[in-house]
Amino acid sequence: MTLRILLADDQALLRATFRILIDSTDDMRVVAEAADGAQAIEAARAHRPDVVVMDIRMPGTDGLAATTAICADPDLAATRVLILTTFEIDEYVAAALRAGASGFLGKDVGAQDLLAGIRTVAAGEALLSPTATRALITRFLATPGPGAHTTPERLADLTAREREVMALAAQGYSNSEIAEQLFVSPLTARTHIQRAMMKLAARDRAQLVVIAYQTGLVQPAPPPARRSP
C-alpha cells in the first residue's frame, strides 16, 4: 500500500525538499501541499491523506489549530499528524499531542529518520522523540493545560494487565521492552496495547500515552534537585 502524505509548512523550499525525498520512495507519495494551517485543513479534507507532516509555526492558522481541527474531524479518523518543530523541546508539543498528533520530529531530522517517522505514525505507533521520549513525556504531557486532566474512572474497563502495559507504554517503553519486563511476548504486549486503545477510543499509541497522564495512571517524575552553589 502506498502512503498518501500531505506536507504543511510555510517554507516552500522545505516542502519541495521533503516532496522530492518522499516521492523517491516506493511506499509513499505526496498528494498535496499547504502553506498554512487553513490550507492544511482544507487539503486534508479534500485528499484524506494517511499522514500530515505538519509545521507548528505558520502564519494565520498555525499548525496547532490545524492539528486540532484535523484530529477532531470524524471523516479524518484514519489520518495521522506528525508534527515538525524547530526545537525538539517546544511548548507547543504537549498541546499538539493532546490535540491528537501522533508525534513530532525536529526540523533538522535526517532523511531516513523522517521517512521512518512517517511510517511509524502511519502504523498507529507513537513517535514522541527519536532520542528523549521519556523526558519529553514527563515534561510536556504532565504539564497542566486546558482539559488536561480526566478522572481515573475512564480506565474502569481496562484489565489490570492492560493498565500495567499502558503505564509502561506511557513511560516510553517499546513493545519489546514491555514484553521483557512482564515476561510475555512482544505480540502479547502489542495486543494489550491495542485492546486498551480500543476500549479508550484512542486514535493511536500517542493518545494512549496522553490518557495515561491525564488519568493519573502515570505520575510525572519529580524535577531533579538543584545542587547548592
pTM as predicted? 0.74
Which whole number is the average pLDDT over 212-217?
85
Whether 206 maps to a domain, the answer reads yes
Range of the domain at 119: 3-131
Domain end among 81, 99, 131: 131
Cα distance between residue 129 and residue 89, in whole Å: 9
Mean pLDDT of the chain: 84
Residue 222 lies in a domain: no
pLDDT at residue number 115: 94
Residues 10, 122, single domain; the answer is yes
Determine the pLDDT at residue 130.
39
| 120 and 160 assigned to the same domain | no
Average pLDDT over residues 194-201: 93
On whether both 171 and 123 belong to a single domain, the answer is no
Would 13 be classed as within a structural domain? yes
The grid coordinates of residue 62 equal 498555525
Please give the Cα distance from 204 to 201 (Å, whole number).
9
CATH number at residue 72: 3.40.50.2300
**163, 127: one domain:** no
- Domain count for the chain: 2
- What's 107's DSSP letter? T
The verdict on 123 and 11 lying in the same domain is yes
The amino acid occupying position 20 is I
Q: Is residue 171 part of a domain?
A: yes
